[in-house]
Amino acid sequence: MFKQFYKGKRVLVTGHTGFKGSWLSLWLSRLGAQVVGVSLPAPTNPSLHEVIRSCFAQEFECDIRDLPLLQKAIQSAQPDIVFHLAAQPIVRTSYANPLETLETNVLGTAHVLESIRAAELPCPVVVITSDKCYENKEWDFAYRENDPLGGHDIYSMSKGATELVAQAWFKSFFSTNPNLGPVVTVRAGNVIGGGDYAADRIVPDCIRALCDGKPIAVRNPAAVRPWQHVLECLSGYLWLGANIAVAPKTSPLVSAFNFGPGPGGKQTVRELVETILRIWPGKWVDTSNPGSVHEAKLLSLSIEKAGSLLNWTPIWDFEQTVRQTVTWYQERHQKQSEDVLKFTSSQIDSYVTLALEQHAAWAMG
């Protein structure tokens, strides 16, 4: 897979204690990489990080807002490639902590890139942002990588600003320095999967309610989102990383990419919740409040560029995505499995097997 690029490589993952960072770290470990994590402690209890902790070659506890400490960690890690995921990832949290959101997402990204520049590391850098980085006009239009960046709320704006920081650091410093590697940004849809325990996210909210035998409180049942399993976007990140490592910095691959779901992943929150309840029975209640903080009602991504330049396409449909997500939580919390790591790894195996059957470019190598 991935042209066997990651086997034996030292791969630095910032935000490795988070939901997506944990899945990425486990997959990298299974690909034969030496995974080095840089992050604050896991943001939730329970967490996925505690399940997959054995996969790391090294871990640094570090706030990316602390530039001297971050520089020391990156210099020590000497990575062959960097995946930067460390961030404040919750829209509603950005209303409560706007400055912390900006400092972490925007200045933190600048710190990561500056640390790599100062150490003159030739490693490719994949900066993970969000579909929320686009100036969302709430229309039935799939946003493309060259559409304007923006954001109504602080979180979304910070992701647009993160994109601009990455572009500016690359153009100003990395593109002209032969001792530095390429920098790209990637944007995914609404990512779900086992192991997410964040507050104010619909799937963790569903699981907490179901575990407690309570109705699921749904804030925005009519909101439409591009739902996708975490493994979908990670396959795109890994495939892009492997390709830019051998491409010139002038390649069209050294740019921004959307890795979103297929058309069937564009569903309402209500449809997501009702699909969850067909797998794990329970009830839901509409708790929408016109006076609550702004959250987008409609958002979708175009994945034409990823298909054209990388031959990348999603593997799991909406039903499979939800089923794989719910069964992970059932395995851990209903069945109380003694080997959640093995089950998590088996989901990666199932995803890869279907990708091979579908002749996915990244799986075929």
- The answer to whether position 105 is within a domain reads yes
Which domain does 319 fall in, by range?
A: 7-358
* Closest by CA position to 184, among listed 260, 239, 226: 239
- The answer to whether position 1 is within a domain reads no
User: CB burial class (10 A; 0-12, 13-18, 19+) of residue 195?
Assistant: buried
In sequence order, the β-bridge partners of residue 227 are 190
Which residue matches tokens 């560029």? Answer: 305
Say which CATH number the domain at 304 has. 3.40.50.720
What is the torsion angle, in degrees rounded to the nearest 10, for the CA atoms of residue 275, residue 277, residue 283 and residue 284?
-30
Give the span between the Cα atoms of 287 and 285, in whole angstroms. Answer: 6
Q: What is the pLDDT of residue 293?
A: 62
User: In sequence order, what E strands does 45-106 have?
Assistant: 56-61, 81-84
- The answer to whether position 52 is within a domain reads yes
Instruction: Indicate the DSSP class of residue 301.
Output: B
- The answer to whether position 179 is within a domain reads yes
277 in helix, strand or coil? helix
- The answer to whether position 364 is within a domain reads no
Give the N- to C-terminal CA distance of the chain in Å, as an integer: 5
- The answer to whether position 363 is within a domain reads no
- The answer to whether position 330 is within a domain reads yes
Cβ contacts of residue 171 below 8 Å, gap of 6+? none
- The answer to whether position 365 is within a domain reads no
187 in helix, strand or coil? strand
Give the span between the Cα atoms of 39 and 16, in whole angstroms. Answer: 6
Single-letter residue type at 362:
W
Total domain count for the chain?
1
pLDDT along the chain (365 residues), means of 10: 96 98 98 98 96 97 98 97 94 91 97 98 97 86 93 92 98 97 96 96 97 95 93 98 97 98 94 98 91 68 97 97 98 96 98 97 90
Q: What is the pLDDT of residue 288?
A: 86
Are 306 and 258 in contact by the 8 Å Cβ rule? The answer is yes
Q: What is the pLDDT of residue 97?
A: 94
